[in-house]
Structure 1
Amino acid sequence: MIALELEREAISKISPVKLEKYLEDKGWTKTKVIGDIAAVWSYQKTDKTVGVLVPLDRDFADFDNRMMEVFIILEKVENRPRSAILATLQNTSIIAKAQHREILEFRFSYVYENNQEAPAKKIGSVLKSLQDFLGAIGKSKIQSKRLSVRQEMKSELELSIVETFTGSFGLRLGLSQGQPRQLNLLEDPIAEQAAQDLLELISASTHEDSDILQEKISALYGKSSIKFKSFLTHLSTLQANLSLDWGSVDPGKGGFAEISYTNILRALEIINKKEVENPRRIYLIGKLMLAGVGNNKKYRKFIFEEQESHHDYQGTISKELLKNIGNDLNVGKKLYRATLEETTSVNTATGEEETNYLLVELENLSMDN
């Protein structure tokens, strides 16, 4: 009796949106919607049609009983225990709390084919770009240069595959287990912040007003915006709609977001347009190691070595700058203050991220200028 009551309580906590997504993946069809209260779903078996009433409003007086009825019918249709179905649908926040980690549950619904598998190479690229994005978010929020602090942050944001799902295709990912370290007592743990940023960006990517996404992208620091663009690019290769269910250790956090394949492509267009109109600017002090080289006079190449890190930046010199400076470039000797414009692209064939630099301003800092 106690076990049944616990099961009923767990079922009542299942998100109706998530339940409907599960039914859709399993081949059920929504046949009728009763306002915001409930929806009728049907499933065609060999000999008959089965129907269920999914309650949509938790304030509905009979919500718990109706949810239990859905699971009783699913148990018969799928010929497996309710507990197994519940485990697939269980609220990610409950799982997060039980495992002491943030949970990210992804489900992919393919647009052009009914496929329950995913290409390993493409999924691998999506997961790597997601990991890179979370890492970039972490770096942008940590000001400390101490190696131990950065290594701890990297560990907290490391993703693990916890479970896979049938349906179209699904993955349950978990961030690092254990007691999360807070950067500041007044701030949320870094894993929560990264998951929150991801959910908000995906939600903004579906908004009709493109300014919402542009504002979110502009608010990101460092490489985070570039890594999010890379994530969307790899995601687009799957040609699938995506749903994200975030379960948090914090009862007040977590959430659900969906983005269609069409909106993934639209979001990439918005980000690319923003880069062209307002590219990220980098300001450096160092020396020109190569300048004005190239057969095409319109696209002269350069190599600039940053003074402090000795890191080389390579790219092309802008037409306007070439007109202003002419041949007055000193390679390897004079110190310059350079302004570069950075844009990124992802080679969909190789999956490699390509960063392009355009030299737009150059100021001679040497005393003998």
Structure 2
Amino acid sequence: MRLVFMGNSIEEWGTALAVAIAAAVLLYVVKYLLVHRLAQVAERTETRVDDWFLRLLRATYTVFILVLALYLGSLMLEFPRKYEVWLWRVAVSAMLVQGAIWADTAVRTWRGRYRQAAMGGESVASAASTAIIDFLLRLVVWVVFVLMILDNLGFNITTLVASLGIGGIAVALAVQNILGDLLASLSIVLDKPFVVGDFIIVDDKLGTVEYIGLKTTRLRGLGGDQVIFANGDILKARIANQTRMFTRRAAFLLRLHTASDPEQVAALPGMIRQIVEEHEETASFERAHLRELGEWSLNIEVIYWIKNPDYFVFMDTQQSILLAVLRGLKERGIAIASPARMLVRDPFDCNEAAPPLHSPASIRREGT
């Protein structure tokens, strides 16, 4: 007597089971060999492609292999049309879930690689900002794959997608400021006008970037206070990133007394040039010129460049050069000018101890 179950004989069920077991073993062995081989290659090479494929293969779950093997075994059997459709849908859904896991693994691998590269590069803390992109990419991956799975299972997702679209518009209008800051944070992460650890100047506020979040960016001011900007506002402002300076431009104005000897004044640019060029921290001397004959001084403008952009190095170098200039002026007997003003005693002051109105003692010069 021939035994039949769901329209298929025991022999056919045995054949299907054998095919399923063989497919499962074959797929698992192929996965194991590929993982073992790629692991060896990844150890010898510095490229990232083999590392990515290795992570993806390791993220291939045994459950997916079993589902795929059972579906291949079911092809050996004859089922009613509706059963075949559901078997196909289950197999495709399993493949979509595995595809979502692969995509999620790829995103997490990218973030890990980026963080590792940042820790060996210029900015360690900047890797934390990639959490924003990581979160959004993984969210998009799972939303897309869930919609594909629902569509594969026979659900009508058109209404769902339309509802999500309408709801998304309503939410966007309600929280447009928050969304604007969120998009601004993505712009900061991708375009990188600054990263965590940079010293920046935003309008009249300055400080070190301490945190870049989804909505706000926080600076640590020079006084120790924390200055918080909305991401949208900080991108609208003019940002001066002091950390990305390669050299620093230094300039000062030397005001000499109007009675200074023109020949000595003419020799001063050469003296200043020699002082600047002999200093070890200066990159180059740009110029030194008698810029103008002022009302109370002769103004010499000096401009040069410092190798190190660090502010303390700049101040130390500027101080050293200015002191050397002062010594040179003293050796040559050239005086530095200072503005003067006349103070005249009130003519109606009846104080007898005061000097006469037009006495030289009643007129004095004051330096400001």
Query: Do the two structures share a fold, i.e. TM-score over 0.5?
Result: no
**Structure possessing the higher relative contact order (Cα contacts under 8 Å, 6 or more residues apart):** 1
Larger Rg: 2
Q: What TM-score, normalized to structure 2?
A: 0.24
More helix by share: 2
Q: Which has the higher strand share?
A: 1
Question: Please, what TM-score do these two structures have when normalized by structure 1?
Answer: 0.24
